[in-house]
Chains A and B, each alone.
Chain A
Amino acid sequence: MNDGLKQQINEIIAEILEMNANDTSIFDRGKNTNWDSLKHLEIIMAIEEELDIRFSSSEVSEIMNAEDIYNYVDKKLNE
């Protein structure tokens, strides 16, 4: 995935979690108490809308951090 797209995803996550987009080390559901189930869905939906892709229910539950999102997005954009 190119850096521009990663940055775009980071900005979406940061915006919803109300954090700095450079704090990527805590873009992780296990380390960040802000990233609750409601915020999780908000992040997923914002990315879907922005990149015109769709995650399945199982993918939504499997995503645990920003890295997982990059991987799924990469896969979907190259399908």
Chain B
Amino acid sequence: MISFSINNNLLNADLNTRELKKFSFELDTLKALHLSIERTLPFEYVAQFMSPFLSLWEQDGVFSYSEYDTSLAQISIDEKIDAYIFWMDWRLYMDRINPDECIMWLANRLRIAKKNCPILVNNWPSFWQLDEKQYSANVSKRSWIYQFNAKIEKLREEFSQLEIIDLDLLSSQIGITSYDARNNQVSNFPLSNKLTMQVARHISLQLLPSMLEPKLKAIVLDLDYTMYAGILGEDGIDGILLTEEHIQFQQVLKNMRKNGILLAISSKNDKSDVIDMFEKRKDFPLQMNDFTFIEANWNSKAENIKSIAKKFNFDVSAMLFIDDNPAELMHVQSEIPTIHVLLADAMGKETVHRLLNYPRLYSLKKDDMAVIRQQDINANQKRKELEAKSADGNAYLSSLQMQIGIYENEEAHKQRVFELGQKTNQFNLAIKRYTKGEFEEKFNSDKYKIFTITLSDILNDSGIIGAFICHLDGDTAHFEEVLFSCRALGRKVEDAALYFILNILDEKQIKFVQFDTIEGPRNKPALDWIQMFCKSSEHNIQHVIETLNEKLKDYPAEVIVHE
């Protein structure tokens, strides 16, 4: 893992481009990331800034460039390609074809790209044509750009693996200095250095990690000089200072929470002081109920973080810890090497930029499961209390009054199953991490059955918590992947779901079942589970049903199969 001191400099708002290019990492851990650049605009300027950023999530960018060809006649379909970047000078098309025709042509080109491979395409800034300022949009090129930018966004409906490099937004954030006439004159590259670096950062730290890696799940925060300026124990509740920068930082965290990132506190303070602080400081954008867990005590922070991870029931590698004290970060990193750490700027100035630029936190879409997930984690604490009070396992499960739903190729569940595949770390048998395109293909194929599992009990409706991706091949059902959210484990839902699914398949004349398994860094729970029913690679379906039936004796849940 790259040390956080380098990490922080690279995430700061202002970076000297010359210094940036000097960052070089010769780490054995860097993985080659093959990027195919299909272009009508020079990309080398952007690429030169990308390597240091990519190294922050342990990737080494390997770029292959197409010729400058406005027809994009030779799109590479090399096996090695991990992602495409279509880097287009849309000015070359404005005078020749209308926006509709241009989008149709682009869609045809995208269809040639390697199937299911992530694709990035840039849109175009709408305000660069200063000489056109005297015309209204409908008689100027702005009209073409407005229409084109709206239509390229809509292309994402057809190409699920497509994301837009929003040059229009990035350039408007910088203003007119995002355009460089000299670059344009010398090399037809109109982006200024500042915009070029922003584009490199957006692609390397936000778009690519969010398309290729699972999103981080939780942020654990220190309090003093991280969430505000001052020390609660010394300055008192009224003495700690909420600077403008800290307000911004807290607001960003609040938005992240709304979109699925869980928050927790690990602080060396008395818990009663922390509770009083939240009760009295109503000017804080983040309030106590925004935090799923608060560990305020005098234990080591590493200890607290381990306890928080246990309560979240997911691995620490999906967590980011933010603290202003480098010694604390070093200690936590030495105790928990796989955790992500970020140094807070004591006065808050850089912290928000570092957070916004941190890889694997960027959201490509709204997370509709965020509220359910939050409620479920709270409910899990209550479930643990119930379990402790119950006489035996079945009495506990019975007290929950569980309802399990089983659905077959349910269109409305598609997005959630895809996300589950990207996020699940502990209960995934084969760690397949399908791209959106690959997943779409399976969902729409007659040869596949995608079973989704929903769960609710007296404490919460957990929504979709599991999926079985099953390929039907003659009389054999081949399970390519089995996924369960860690929130749902410990209630035998996976056993019950498999039992009912095998019965459905049995009715469809399936005689044998196979399960793909891959040993990953954290999926032991899933591998141990399948070992209980299937010790070899292929099984008679009846034998597995009988084993499960025995295991589920007196299982107290209502299971509804939706066909």
Do A and B truly interact?
Answer: yes
Interface residues of A (CB under 8 A from B): 12, 15, 37-38, 40-41, 44-46, 49-50, 55-57, 60-61
For residue B196, which residue of chain A has the nearest CB? A45
Knowing A37-B187, A38-B42, A41-B187, the reply to whether A49 touches B17 (Cβ < 8 A) is yes
Contact B18 A57 (CB under 8 A): no
Q: Is the CB of A41 within 8 A of B186?
A: yes
Q: Mark B306-345, 1 if CB is under 8 A from A, else 0.
A: 0000000000000000000000000000000000000000
3 residue pairs, one from A and one from B, having the closest CB atoms: A57-B182, A60-B182, A37-B186
* Shortest distance between the CB of A14 and any CB in chain B (Å): 12
User: Is the CB of B181 closer than 8 A to any CB of chain A?
Assistant: yes
State in angstroms the CA–CA spacing of A57 and B44 once bound together. 21
B186 and A40 within 8 A (CB): yes
- Alpha-carbon distance between A40 and B187 when the two chains are bound, in angstroms: 10
| Residues in B neighbouring A46, C-beta threshold 8 A | 17-18
15 additional A-B pairs beyond A49-B16, A49-B17, A60-B182, beta carbons within 8 Å, are A12-B18, A15-B18, A37-B187, A38-B42, A38-B44, A38-B45, A44-B182, A45-B17, A46-B17, A46-B18, A49-B18, A55-B182, A56-B182, A57-B185, A61-B185
- B269 / chain A contacts, CB cutoff of 8 Å: none
Which residues in B have some Cβ–Cβ distance to A below 8 Å?
16-18, 42, 44-45, 181-183, 185-187, 193
Q: Please report whether the interface of chain B is mostly helix, strand, loop or mixed according to DSSP.
A: helix
Q: How far is the CB of B282 from chain A (nearest CB, A)?
A: 44
Nearest-Cβ distance from residue B44 to partner chain A, whole angstroms: 7
Closest-CB distance, B68 to chain A (whole angstroms): 13
| Complex Cα gap A64–B193 (Å) | 21
User: Can you spell out 26 A-B residue pairs with CB atoms less than 8 angstroms apart?
Assistant: A12-B18, A15-B18, A37-B186, A37-B187, A38-B44, A38-B45, A38-B186, A38-B187, A40-B186, A41-B183, A41-B186, A44-B182, A45-B17, A45-B193, A49-B16, A49-B18, A49-B193, A50-B18, A55-B182, A56-B182, A57-B185, A60-B182, A60-B185, A60-B186, A61-B185, A61-B186
Residue ID in chain A nearest B42 by CB atoms = A38
**Which one of B44, B45, B183, B186 has the greatest number of beta carbons of chain A within 10 Å?**
B186
CB distance from A35 to the nearest CB of B (A): 12
Instruction: Write the nearest CB–CB distance from A29 to chain B, whole angstroms.
Output: 12
Query: In the assembly, what is the distance between CA of A41 and CA of B192, in Å?
Result: 11
Residues of B within 8 A of A45 (CB): 17, 193
B181 neighbours in A (Cβ, 8 Å): 57
Q: Which of B17, B18, B183, B185 has the most CB of A within 10 A?
A: B18
For A57, the chain B residues whose CB sits under 8 A away are 181-182, 185
**What distance in Å separates the Cβ of A76 from its nearest Cβ neighbour in chain B?**
15
- Bound-state Cα–Cα, A60 to B42, Å: 19
**In whole angstroms, what is the CA distance A57 to B187 when docked?**
13
Q: What separation, in Å, do the CA atoms of A37 and B45 have in the docked complex? A: 12
Closest Cβ of chain A to B197, distance in Å, is 10
Residues of chain A within 8 A (CB-CB) of B17 are 45-46, 49
Instruction: Name which residue of chain B comes closest to A59, CB basis.
Output: B182
Q: Closest CB of chain B to A60's CB: distance in Å?
A: 5
Q: Which chain B residue shows the least CB distance to A11?
A: B18
- CA distance in complex: A55, B180 (Å): 11
The chain B residue sitting closest to A46, CB to CB, is B18
CB contacts (< 8 Å) of A40 on chain B: these are 186
Question: Closest Cβ of chain A: how far from B454's Cβ, in Å?
Answer: 55
* Cα A67 to Cα B185 with chains together (Å): 23
Complex Cα distance A57/B186, Å?
9
Separation of A50 and B17 alpha carbons in the complex (Å):
9
Q: How far is the CB of A36 from chain B (nearest CB, A)?
A: 9
